[in-house]
Chain A
Amino acid sequence: MTVLAQQLLLGLLIGGLYGLAAAGLSLIFGVMRVLNVAHGELIMLGGYGAFWLSALLGVDPFASLVIVIPASLLLGAVLYWGLFGFVVRAHEETRVKNSLLIGFGLALALHALAVRLWTADERSIPTSYGGAVLSLGDLAIPLVRLATLVLALLLIVALQLLLSRWRWGKAIRATAEDWQAALLTGIDIRRAYLLAFALGTALAGAAGTLVTVAYSVSPSIGLEWTLKALIVVVLAGLGSMMGTFVGGLVLGVAEAASAATFGGPYREIVGLVIFVVVLAVRPRGLFGR
């Protein structure tokens, strides 16, 4: 019983990161109707950012968020100007398909680049507090993972505030709701797209940092994280960042439950099955209005 509870707890803790990873994808998808399948590779880059900041400059991995987030924001803007900005001119169906293809090519290139630059080795960041555990009855809560869950939640709340209070946040939401109407009311939707993409990439960078602190990073984690984010987005639907976060927690717990029931190797499958089932029920996917 305790073993099961412990496993579910660990599932919940990684679920927060699933939510954070999915939030960026969901924001970009919801606003731009662009499906960036290189999202996982952006997470991977964020992870390496934190790793090298720690390895070369001795920056604490949590503190490195202060550098990784703005750097990812900039990277997002560059990717928008260089690649995805061209896609948003197309009709919606073509747009989703072309963005998928571009994201795919980008994912391959970034993966190969990461292997070339940093080898295929798996890396983690050693910290003095890495082994600290909070005991709660029979349960042991790894402090670092708890911290990543809390930080993920804080980032989601910050994003929520940004989208509801900030002038441009409202513009982003208006564009997501109906870009034609937004255009008619004088919103510069290109800038809303740019901001959404940059913010989404920043969230990916933050997620990557937290993943690397609590777990590890290697060039090949991209596809796995893209799939997790996609599963959560499909599960939670678009529009609510908090909903996405909860969707992430659900996936984390579901994976842990499936691993406990069918054995460790099967933890990946449950999410994919959920994904396929939800898609089968809602074939128009997330736009089903």
Chain B
Amino acid sequence: MTAVGHERRWALAILAALGLLALLPLAGPREDLLNFVFLILLSITLAESWNIVAGYAGQVNLGHAAFFGLGALVTRTLWIGGTPVPLAMAAGAVTATMFALVIGVAAFRLRGAYFAIGTLALGEILKATIGNVLPEISTLPAATIASYRLTLRYYLALGLAAVSVIAVATLATSRLGLGMRAIREDEEAAEASGVGALALKLTALALSTALAGLAGGLFAYYHISYYPAHPFGPHWTFDALLMTFIGGVGTLQGPVLGAALYVVLKEYLALRWVDIHLLIFGALFVAIVLLLPGGLVQAAERARWMFGRRA
């Protein structure tokens, strides 16, 4: 089985699962179930978007929340101001991408861990600034709350998750994705064999931040009230990182599995203990970095290999 066929099979399987989830609202479930699945879908988009830069281009971006936050900020502002939601979300995504391209040129001068801590600092700068400029909580007008429909948000999240899965699947099997992986493995060697590292890294960042901006827009459309600085918080980056690594960084299905597992565990454990899921995921994450760099996906492959079945 070639790697390309593998990715396609997974893409089809995930899209089929998403297709089944599209039937869920028709069954008239309780609202909390829809909210729960919504959270998984939003997490899938966020994790896959982070995976593009970290998993394929090999750059650990610790400022991802900045782009999620920018998408949320622009979408919320325009939407409350009367712009139709699709347009507002598109504007949010464009803003996030433009910002990413501007800082990307400078940030990609940094290699490895310096890129990581540099982007972490940029994310914190943006969060602190937004928190200072917009300290007031943002709440929807009463008329909007009255006409609030969860199903609409649910389908939007579903569509966005599908788009991000298709985007990553397309990328993974394309020349572009191949070039990115070459950079991930050895940047000097990739450049020597004719891969334009900076252009490819910027492409990865643009794609990644466009999806993150859309996810932020969805967040802004979904929540009735929140502090504008909240979506800029570093935990959005950390969540994406954990979900991606635990599922399997640099794979299509890893972030999807990681996101589902993360949200399920978080909701399940939150009923008993505050934040204990982070203790488990933090420890699991360390174990994975040390022992199983490919995450759950690699664990499953090893298990299959050990039991002698065809991979």
Contact B131 A265 (CB under 8 A): yes
Q: How far is the CB of B237 from chain A (nearest CB, A)?
A: 10
- When the two chains form the complex, which single residue of A35, A105, A115, A276 contacts B122, counting CB atoms closer than 8 Å? A276
- Please give, as numbers and ranges, the residues of chain B lying within 8 Å of A17 by CB-CB distance: none
- Please give, as numbers and ranges, the residues of chain A lying within 8 Å of B129 by CB-CB distance: 269
Main secondary structure of the interface of B (DSSP, over half): helix
Is residue A93 within 8 Å, beta carbon to beta carbon, of the partner chain?
A: yes
Chain A proximity mask over B119-143: 1 for CB below 8 Å, otherwise 0: 0111011001101100000000000
Contact A109 B279 (CB under 8 A): yes
Q: Which of A74-108 contact B (CB under 8 A)?
A: 83, 86, 93, 96-102, 104-108
Q: How far is the CB of A35 from chain B (nearest CB, A)?
A: 5
Interface size class, chain B: 35 or more
Q: How far is the CB of A224 from chain B (nearest CB, A)?
A: 9
Contact A112 B275 (CB under 8 A): yes
Contact B282 A101 (CB under 8 A): no
Is residue A116 within 8 Å, beta carbon to beta carbon, of the partner chain?
A: yes
Is residue A268 within 8 Å, beta carbon to beta carbon, of the partner chain?
A: yes
Is residue A223 within 8 Å, beta carbon to beta carbon, of the partner chain?
A: yes
Q: How far is the CB of A283 from chain B (nearest CB, A)?
A: 4
Is residue A134 within 8 Å, beta carbon to beta carbon, of the partner chain?
A: no
Contact A268 B128 (CB under 8 A): yes
Residue of B nearest to A99 (CB): B113
Contact B278 A101 (CB under 8 A): no
Q: A268 vs B60: C-alpha distance in the bound complex, in angstroms?
A: 24
Is residue B238 within 8 Å, beta carbon to beta carbon, of the partner chain?
A: yes
Residue of B nearest to A87 (CB): B290
- Please give, as numbers and ranges, the residues of chain B lying within 8 Å of A56 by CB-CB distance: none
Select the stretch in B67-75, B103-111, B214-222 that faces chain A.
B103-111
Is residue A157 within 8 Å, beta carbon to beta carbon, of the partner chain?
A: no
Contact A105 B111 (CB under 8 A): no
Is residue A230 within 8 Å, beta carbon to beta carbon, of the partner chain?
A: yes
Contact B282 A109 (CB under 8 A): yes
Contact A272 B289 (CB under 8 A): no
Chain B proximity mask over A257-289: 1 for CB below 8 Å, otherwise 0: 000000101101100110110011001110000
- Please give, as numbers and ranges, the residues of chain A lying within 8 Å of B286 by CB-CB distance: 83, 102, 105-106, 109
Q: A201 vs B122: C-alpha distance in the bound complex, in angstroms?
A: 27
The verdict on A280 contacting B106 (CB below 8 Å), with A105-B283, A265-B132 known, is yes
Q: A113 vs B275: C-alpha distance in the bound complex, in angstroms?
A: 9
Is residue B276 within 8 Å, beta carbon to beta carbon, of the partner chain?
A: yes
- When the two chains form the complex, which single residue of A35, A112, A268 contacts B278, counting CB atoms closer than 8 Å? A112
- When the two chains form the complex, which single residue of A105, A116, A223, A283 contacts B289, counting CB atoms closer than 8 Å? A105
- When the two chains form the complex, which single residue of A97, A265, A269 contacts B112, counting CB atoms closer than 8 Å? A97
Contact A272 B117 (CB under 8 A): no
Contact A101 B273 (CB under 8 A): no
Contact A100 B60 (CB under 8 A): yes
- Please give, as numbers and ranges, the residues of chain A lying within 8 Å of B234 by CB-CB distance: 223
Is residue B245 within 8 Å, beta carbon to beta carbon, of the partner chain?
A: yes
Q: A115 vs B242: C-alpha distance in the bound complex, in angstroms?
A: 19
- When the two chains form the complex, which single residue of B111, B125, B132, B245 contacts A272, counting CB atoms closer than 8 Å? B125
Contact B282 A112 (CB under 8 A): yes
Residue of B nearest to A33 (CB): B113
Residue with the highest number of chain A CB atoms closer than 10 Å, among B60, B120, B277: B120
Is residue A111 within 8 Å, beta carbon to beta carbon, of the partner chain?
A: yes
Residue with the highest number of chain B CB atoms closer than 10 Å, among A37, A101, A285: A101
Contact A283 B111 (CB under 8 A): yes
Contact B245 A101 (CB under 8 A): yes
Residue of B nearest to A224 (CB): B124
Q: A283 vs B279: C-alpha distance in the bound complex, in angstroms?
A: 34
Is residue B114 within 8 Å, beta carbon to beta carbon, of the partner chain?
A: yes
Contact B282 A283 (CB under 8 A): no
Q: A231 vs B122: C-alpha distance in the bound complex, in angstroms?
A: 12
Is residue B180 within 8 Å, beta carbon to beta carbon, of the partner chain?
A: no
Is residue A227 within 8 Å, beta carbon to beta carbon, of the partner chain?
A: yes
Contact A105 B285 (CB under 8 A): yes
- Please give, as numbers and ranges, the residues of chain A lying within 8 Å of B116 by CB-CB distance: 97, 100
Residue of B nearest to A119 (CB): B274
Is residue B99 within 8 Å, beta carbon to beta carbon, of the partner chain?
A: no
The verdict on A97 contacting B278 (CB below 8 Å), with A83-B286, A272-B121, A284-B111 known, is no
- Please give, as numbers and ranges, the residues of chain B lying within 8 Å of A279 by CB-CB distance: 110, 114, 117-118, 121
- When the two chains form the complex, which single residue of B112, B121, B245, B279 contacts A116, counting CB atoms closer than 8 Å? B279
Contact A100 B113 (CB under 8 A): yes
- Please give, as numbers and ranges, the residues of chain B lying within 8 Å of A97 by CB-CB distance: 60, 112-113, 116
Q: A110 vs B117: C-alpha distance in the bound complex, in angstroms?
A: 20
Contact B125 A280 (CB under 8 A): no
- B-side residues, CB < 8 A to A, are 60, 106, 109-114, 116-118, 120-122, 124-125, 128-129, 131-132, 234, 238, 241-242, 245, 273-279, 281-283, 285-286, 289-290
5 contacts between A and B (CB under 8 A): A101-B60, A111-B282, A116-B273, A272-B122, A283-B111
